[in-house]
Amino acid sequence: MGGASTKLNAGIRGERPPTEQGVFVTQQQHSHRPWRQLHVITIGLLALSMLFGGAVPAIALEHVRFVRDGVERHVSGEAVVKAQDGGMMLRAADGVLWLLDGEEIKEVRSDEQPFRHATADEIAKSLREELGAEFSMHGTAHYLIVYNTSEAYARWCGALYERLFRAFQAYWKGKGVELSEPSGPLVALVFDSRRTYSAFAKRDLGVDPGGMIGYYNVRTNRVNMYDLTEAGAHSAQQIRQMLMRPLAERNVATIIHEATHQLAYSTGLQTRYADNPFWVSEGLAVYFETPDLRSTKGWRGIGAVNQFQFAQFRQYAPRRIDNSLQRLLTDDGAFRNGGTQADMYSEAWALNYFLLKRHPDQYSQYLAKLAARTPLITLSAEQRLADFTESFGPLPQVDQEFARFMATVR
């Protein structure tokens, strides 16, 4: 594939700029060295289904012994991708992705036992061993809330996320997009305070989380956050009252934003570690993030104008640079730049809003193209532009229509 290169990095999706009560999305290096080989061999379920004409054979369980940072470790799971140097991406039963360099791996053996996903009880047991006995579990139809705060707050989070799940599924069904069912419970870790959350995040990320009040970890497929009431609310009514205050709206939007990332990667809308441009991933999450705390049955905000992002985009529009759209599509680094990140987020929301309103079929097809990408392959700027124009047309034409459309939005 022209202009493509391999990558081996763990994605951490956190909050937006400090003006939005947090910090910018970052991608942390969980492995200390990248895959240097130019080719990877995809052997996941999708590739096997194509190879065998739709009949997916049982996936053999791989047992890997490896040494990292001087410590020998063992992990078992399904090999999703293999590299020519012997490295691999391994999916463990709990959904965690292990990105193993060929030099780390000391032994790989397979057996006839088929790979299977862990049950909710097995994941709960593992998490309790990892986090400690002070953590409790609250299960819903699709989520496992792991918490050491009040049960009321855990239940509030579970109910909020279930509403988001139903609305997310219904929205994409209405767009003709068929989502897959998550392979297991979607895990959310909820800590009782910023202090305990920060201590965990330092271990999980390898860096201080700073102002992040929550983040989604692509590698573990977990959302991590802390109780926004700081364990100060002990009933659903108290929680609603505290979090419906105007100053709390952006904080609630953040935890919904991170849960949207988790949903997109767990239902097949996006593929973990594929080349997912930031304008798509972040724009989608912003599109869904508007809280709907007054409703107990639905999620009225999907597809509505995100007033926070719209206000930022209106400020940016008069000084928008000539190649702004091209930069948005190709330069993920601009999302990390303190001087441009707020503008990039607002433009990402605006572009997703425009495409979903005016070109929904092409947008759905574009997402399917991205989701089919091989993990760990980074596309060049030229390839990203080619993908976009193939789906939506010449860039100058799209940009003109985009600008005209956003001028009519209120």
User: Is 106 among the domain residues?
Assistant: no
- Rounded Cα gap, residues 204 and 174, in angstroms: 37
Question: Which of helix, strand or coil describes residue 277?
Answer: coil
Mean pLDDT of the chain: 85
What's the 3-state SS for 356-373? HHHCHHHHHHHHHHHHCC
Domain containing 293 equals 5-31+120-408
- Is 400 in contact with 20 (CB distance < 8 Å)? no
Decide if pLDDT at 40 tops 80.
Answer: no
Decide if pLDDT at 1 tops 50.
Answer: no
User: Is 387 among the domain residues?
Assistant: yes
Residue 4: the pLDDT is: 53
* Range name among 27-41, 228-242, 342-356, 365-379 with the lowest pLDDT average: 27-41
CATH number at residue 365: 1.10.390
User: Is 60 among the domain residues?
Assistant: no
Interior CA angle at 30 toward 42 and 17, to 5°?
110
Residue 299: the pLDDT is: 62
- Rounded Cα gap, residues 82 and 106, in angstroms: 15
Q: Report the share of the chain in percent with pLDDT over 90.
A: 72
- Rounded Cα gap, residues 398 and 180, in angstroms: 31
pLDDT, tens only, 53-76 = 333 345 789 999 999 999 999 999
pLDDT, tens only, 349-406 = 999 999 999 999 999 999 999 999 999 999 999 999 999 999 999 999 999 999 999 9
Domain total of the chain: 1
- Rounded Cα gap, residues 352 and 269, in angstroms: 15
The count of C-alpha atoms lying within 13 angstroms of the C-alpha of 268, restricted to the half-sphere facing its C-beta, is: 14
Alpha helices in 80-150 (DSSP H): 120-131
- Rounded Cα gap, residues 327 and 333, in angstroms: 9
pLDDT band for position 26 (cuts 50, 70, 90): very low
User: Is 169 among the domain residues?
Assistant: yes
**Cα dihedral value 168, 173, 179, 181, nearest 10:** 70
pLDDT, tens only, 238-285 = 887 788 777 787 888 899 999 999 999 999 999 999 999 999 999 999
- Rounded Cα gap, residues 329 and 324, in angstroms: 9
User: Is 372 among the domain residues?
Assistant: yes
Of 197, 191, 195, 219, residue with least CA distance to 13: 219
User: Is 403 among the domain residues?
Assistant: yes
User: Is 26 among the domain residues?
Assistant: yes
Average pLDDT in the 197-212 region?
Answer: 93
User: Is 42 among the domain residues?
Assistant: no
Q: What does the buried/exposed string (b/e) look like for 84-99 if buried means 16 or more CB atoms within 10 Å of the residue's CB?
A: eeebbbbbbbbbbbbb
Residue type, 18: P
